[in-house]
C-alpha cells in the first residue's frame, strides 16, 4: 500500500511494522524547554509523538506550537485537535498552519467537556464534531477545498487519525462508531487505555468481522499505572475507562514502594498480550507525566529498536 502522505507514522504502519506512539502534554506556561525535554526522553523509542490539545479542558500551551517545536527538533508530531474550542474557521486555519510546518499527522477529537477543567464557566463551540473534523481534513487534503468549497493553495498532507473507546457505552455501537469514523476518512485509530483486554478483544472481533482493521490502523492505547490509588481513580472517576477489579487488586496487593514497578509490568504484559490480537497495528503509550518510563516499557515489550525508514 502506498502512503497517502509524507507521514513517517503512515509509512511505518503501511510497512507492516507495529508502530509505537506516545504523547506529551504541553506545559501550562510558555517555556518551550519543557516540551523539548519530554520529547528528548522518548524520541528514540517511539515513531511519533502526540501533543495533546488542552486535555481535560485545562488551559495549556497550544498543541500546534508544541508540534512545531517537535518538528523543528526533527521529530514526528501528531497534532491533536479537539472541536470543543474552535469553530470550523479556526480549525481549518490551524490545520493550514500546521501544514505550513509540514506536520503530517492529525488526531481528530471531540475533547473533554470543559465542566471539569479550569474554565467551567466558559462557552464551548462544538461547531463540528470529531467525525466532521475528520471529514474536513480529508476534504482539505484530498479535494483541496475548504468546507466552504473554495480551493486551497497547497492543501495540507496529513495522515488522519481518530480516537476510539472500546469501553464506553453503549457497547453495541462501539464497532459501528469505528466504522463511521473510517467512513468519515480516519486512517489510524488510537484507542482509550486498555486494561480490560478481554473486552478489547471482543471489540476487535467485531472490528475484524467488518474488516475495519483492514481499513484503519488500530493502535492499542496503554497507560502504565503509577499506584493502586491511580488504578482506583481511573476505575471510578474517569468516564469511559474500564479497569477490571483484578488489576486494581493486583496493584493494591503490591507494597506501596513496588507499585510503580508493578504498573510498568502490567503495562508490558498488556502490550505482550495485545500483540497477539489480530488487527492491532501498534501501540499508543500514554504515560501521563511519566515520559521517562516510556523507553523502558518499549524495551521490555520487545518493541525496541524502532524500525528505521529509508
Partner 1 sequence: MIVAERKPIEEIIEQVKDVRSLLVLGCNECVTVCEAGGKKEVGVLASALRMVFLQQAREVNVGERTLERQCDTEYLEELRDAIDQYDAVVSLACGVGIQFTAEKYPSKPVYPGVNTSFMGATQERGVWVERCQGCGGCILARTGAVCPVARCAKRLFNGPCGGSTDGKCEISKDVDCAWQLIINRLKALNRLQDYETLAPIKDWSTDRAGGPRKVVREDLRS
| 174 contacts 206 by C-beta, under 8 angstroms | yes
Residue closer to partner 1 (CB basis): 60 or 139: 139
For residue 206, the tally of other CB atoms under 10 A from its CB is: 17
By CB under 8 A, which span of 35-43, 68-76, 89-97, 128-136 interacts with partner 1?
A: 128-136
Cell of 217: 490502523
Kindly tell me which residue out of 183, 197, 252, 288 binds partner 1, with binding defined by CB under 8 A: 183
Kindly tell me which residue out of 170, 255, 257, 276 binds partner 1, with binding defined by CB under 8 A: 170
Residue closer to partner 1 (CB basis): 89 or 309: 89
CA separation for the pair 106, 98 (Å, rounded): 9
| 233 contacts 193 by C-beta, under 8 angstroms | no
Instruction: Give min distance, CB of 156 to partner 1, in A.
Output: 18
Kindly tell me which residue out of 36, 37, 112, 265 binds partner 1, with binding defined by CB under 8 A: 112
Kindly tell me which residue out of 131, 186, 268, 281 binds partner 1, with binding defined by CB under 8 A: 131
Instruction: Give min distance, CB of 40 to partner 1, in A.
Output: 30
Cell of 298: 518499549
Using CB under 8 A as the binding rule, whether residue 149 contacts partner 1 is answered as no
Using CB under 8 A as the binding rule, whether residue 254 contacts partner 1 is answered as no
Cell of 69: 517545536
| Extended beta strands in the chain, E state | 19-24, 48-51, 77-82, 105-109, 159-164, 188-193, 217-222, 280-285
| 60 contacts 27 by C-beta, under 8 angstroms | yes
Instruction: Give min distance, CB of 82 to partner 1, in A.
Output: 10
Nearest to 84 by CA among 129, 144, 31, 24: 129
Using CB under 8 A as the binding rule, whether residue 172 contacts partner 1 is answered as yes
Kindly tell me which residue out of 18, 66, 128, 189 binds partner 1, with binding defined by CB under 8 A: 128
Instruction: DSSP letter for 117, please.
Output: S
Using CB under 8 A as the binding rule, whether residue 165 contacts partner 1 is answered as yes
Instruction: Give min distance, CB of 268 to partner 1, in A.
Output: 24
Nearest to 192 by CA among 227, 228, 218, 216: 218
Using CB under 8 A as the binding rule, whether residue 239 contacts partner 1 is answered as yes
Q: Which residues bind partner 1 (CB under 8 A)?
A: 84, 88, 110-113, 115-116, 124, 126-132, 135-136, 147, 163-165, 168-170, 172-173, 176-177, 179-180, 183-184, 192, 239-240
Amino acid at each position: 500500500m502506498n502512503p497517502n502522505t509524507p507521514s513517517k507514522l503512515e509509512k511505518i504502519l503501511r510497512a507492516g511494522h507495529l508502530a509505537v506512539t506516545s504523547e506529551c502534554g504541553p506545559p501550562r506556561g510558555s517555556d518551550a524547554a519543557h516540551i523539548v525535554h519530554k520529547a528528548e526522553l522518548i524520541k528514540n523509542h517511539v515513531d511519533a509523538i502526540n501533543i495533546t490539545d488542552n486535555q481535560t479542558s485545562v488551559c495549556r500551551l497550544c498543541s500546534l506550537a508544541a508540534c512545531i517545536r517537535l518538528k523543528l527538533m526533527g521529530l514526528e508530531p501528531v497534532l491533536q485537535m479537539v472541536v470543543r474550542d474552535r469553530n470550523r474557521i479556526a480549525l481549518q486555519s490551524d490545520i493550514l498552519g500546521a501544514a505550513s510546518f509540514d506536520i503530517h499527522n492529525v488526531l481528530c477529537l471531540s475533547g473533554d467537556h470543559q465542566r471539569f477543567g479550569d474554565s467551567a464557566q466558559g462557552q464551548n463551540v462544538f461547531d463540528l464534531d470529531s467525525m466532521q473534523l475528520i471529514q474536513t481534513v480529508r476534504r482539505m487534503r484530498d479535494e483541496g477545498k475548504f468546507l466552504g468549497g473554495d480551493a486551497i493553495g497547497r492543501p495540507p498532507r496529513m495522515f488522519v487519525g481518530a480516537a476510539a473507546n472500546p469501553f464506553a457505552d453503549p457497547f453495541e455501537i462501539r464497532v459501528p462508531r469505528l466504522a463511521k469514523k473510517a467512513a468519515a476518512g480516519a486512517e489510524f485509530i488510537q484507542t482509550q487505555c486498555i486494561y480490560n483486554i478481554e473486552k478489547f478483544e471482543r471489540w476487535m472481533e467485531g472490528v475484524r468481522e467488518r474488516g475495519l482493521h483492514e481499513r484503519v490502523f488500530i493502535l492499542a492505547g496503554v497507560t502504565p499505572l503509577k499506584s493502586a490509588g491511580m488504578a482506583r481513580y481511573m476505575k471510578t472517576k474517569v468516564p469511559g475507562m474500564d479497569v477490571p477489579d483484578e488489576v486494581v487488586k493486583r496493584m493494591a496487593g503490591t507494597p506501596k514502594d513496588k507499585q510503580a514497578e508493578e504498573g510498568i509490568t502490567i503495562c508490558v504484559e498488556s502490550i505482550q498480550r495485545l500483540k497477539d490480537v489480530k488487527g492491532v497495528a501498534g501501540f499508543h503509550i500514554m504515560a501521563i507525566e511519566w515520559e521517562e518510563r516510556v523507553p523502558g516499557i518499549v524495551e521490555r515489550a520487545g518493541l525496541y529498536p524502532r524500525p528505521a525508514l529509508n
